[in-house]
Structures are given as C-alpha cells and as structure tokens.
Amino acid sequence: MSILIDKKTRILIQGITGNEGARACREALAYGTKVLAGVTPGKGGQRVEGVPVYNTIAEAMRIHAAINTSLIVVPGVFVKDAALEAIHARIPLIVILTEHVPAADAALIVHTARRYGVRIVGPSSIGIISPGKAKIGSIGTAEIAHVFRPGPIGVISKSGGMTAEIAVVLGRAGFGQSTVVGIGGDLIIGSDFADLLVLYKDDPETRAIVLFGEVGGTYEERAAEYIAQARFKKPVVALIAGRFAEALSEETVLGHAGAIVARGRGSYASKIRALKKAGVHIASSVEEIPLILKRVMGRKK
C-alpha cells in the first residue's frame, strides 16, 4: 500500500496549458501515472501531451468520471476559484503546487474542503510520490526520479528541495520510501504532519516516518501532540531546520511564509522539546536520519 496516491490515481490538472502544468502532465505520464484531463478556461478542445483540455471541471468529469485527484498549477490569484471548483466537484484529493497564495484564500480553501470532506495538500506543495506507483506535481522530476525507491519509510517535508535530499540519503543506506509528501511551508496548509501521520499509522507498508520541519508555525508541535495522544507505535525521526534562528526576535519571518515564531511556540527549542517528549527521535543532520532508523528498526529489519 501507500497513502494518498497509488496505481488507481486518476489526475485532472487545472492549468494544464501553462508551462508548469504541461510539465507536470508530461512527467506524470512518463512515470506511468494516469492523467485523464486538464482544465483551462477558454482553452477547451486543445490537447496537452495527448490529454484533452476542457473549460470546466464539470465538463471534464462528465466524460472522465474516474478522476479522483486534482493538481492545481495556476497563478496565485486564481487558486481560490480553481480550488473551490474542484472542491464543489467532490474531487477527493486536491494538490496545490502554486506558491504565494494569499493567506485569506488559503484559509477559505481549507475551511471549505473540510466541510466537503475533501483533502488538500498545499499550497506551495512540491507534490507527492509513491515510488513505483504514482507521482503528482514537480516532485521526482525525470532527472531525479530514480532517487525515490519503493520501501518502508514515509516522508513528510515542509521543504520541497529536501524531499529529494532525504530520499538520496535514505537510498544510500538501503531505505526506500512508501510515500513522500511535500506539504508546503505556508502559514496555512491543507494537510499537516499530524493529518498525514494518521494515514501512515494505518498503512502496513510504512514502518517508520521521517519529518522535515523548520522554525515557525506550530505544525511540528501539533504532530507531537498527536503522536503522544494516539500512542503512535511506528518510529518517527524528525529533522528541524533553523537552529540558528534561536538568536532572532519573535515575529521574524524566515524563508517560508509559515516560518513565524510567536508566543513561545514555533521556535526550534519548543519544537524539539515537544517532539522529544512525544518520543520522536531527533536528527541533527540529514545524514543522521538513516543511522537513527537503523538503530530503531534494527530488530524489525
């Protein structure tokens, strides 16, 4: 198994006629993932990489009823309308690659999705890959797709760039991945660490999870709360970037839009403290992650 995407994934790409949308389509098809349709208002009737383009999701789904995932690759100002259209169409999984989505728009998207029982990943997600099964987004481009290998480690990362780095280091140590998810580093995102840990918990293919976080926001602390409350059995290893930020004042924005420290939460120290208390193994570098995994999984390998 895997989480979120697999060989049954059937994708609709919103913004397929743009450069990024067309690239995402091409890469998904090359990986063997089914892309059934694309949507760009006013561009209906065209084809991108052989995939038919429609003006609306309703038109696309009348012909391609098997669509179960939408990838949104449109400019930030159009993300809200695109996401709401997909939510109202009851597409179960929506992945938003677009960066710089206004926080108010992201909040509305997440709120509406929860009302309709739709899962959002992103904004600012690099995508999702279940090695050997499916991929969506810009994760695992053709040049580096080989670094993602099937295996028992789930990976959740705020940083798109670190998804590949972690996969490389894990691969060198003999660890493949079940599913790698780039959740994005914005202040408001649809699925955070805790949301995905719930899914990994019930995935028999996933035997351990790696979290890559950063200073700012409280998603790591929320993950720690969930791990403690759920008595999470699978080993979790976390690497938190931004230790240098301990010397900076609160309300400082660092890198991602969500990297804000305030009211005693969101700092490097507070995240490490919460995660350690929950029984999470803390890595001080990427290279240390597989060493910890070997130690905590040794008797099960």
Active-site residues, by number, are 256
Rg (CA), the chain: 19
Which phi and psi (to 5°) does residue 102 adopt?
Answer: -55, 140
Alpha-carbon span 25 to 130, nearest angstrom: 17
Alpha-carbon span 284 to 293, nearest angstrom: 13
**Helices (runs of H) and strands (runs of E) counted in the chain:** 9, 14
Query: Taking a C-beta distance cutoff of 8 angstroms, is the pair 194, 278 a contact?
Result: no
Alpha-carbon span 113 to 142, nearest angstrom: 31
> Within a 13 Å sphere around the CA of 213, how many CA atoms are in the beta-carbon half?
34
Tokens for 175, please give them: 């660890």
Per DSSP bridges, beta strands 51-54 and 281-282 are: unpaired
Tokens for 97, please give them: 């690659």
Within 10 A of 99 (CB to CB), how many other CB atoms are there?
17
CA 108 to chain centre: 19
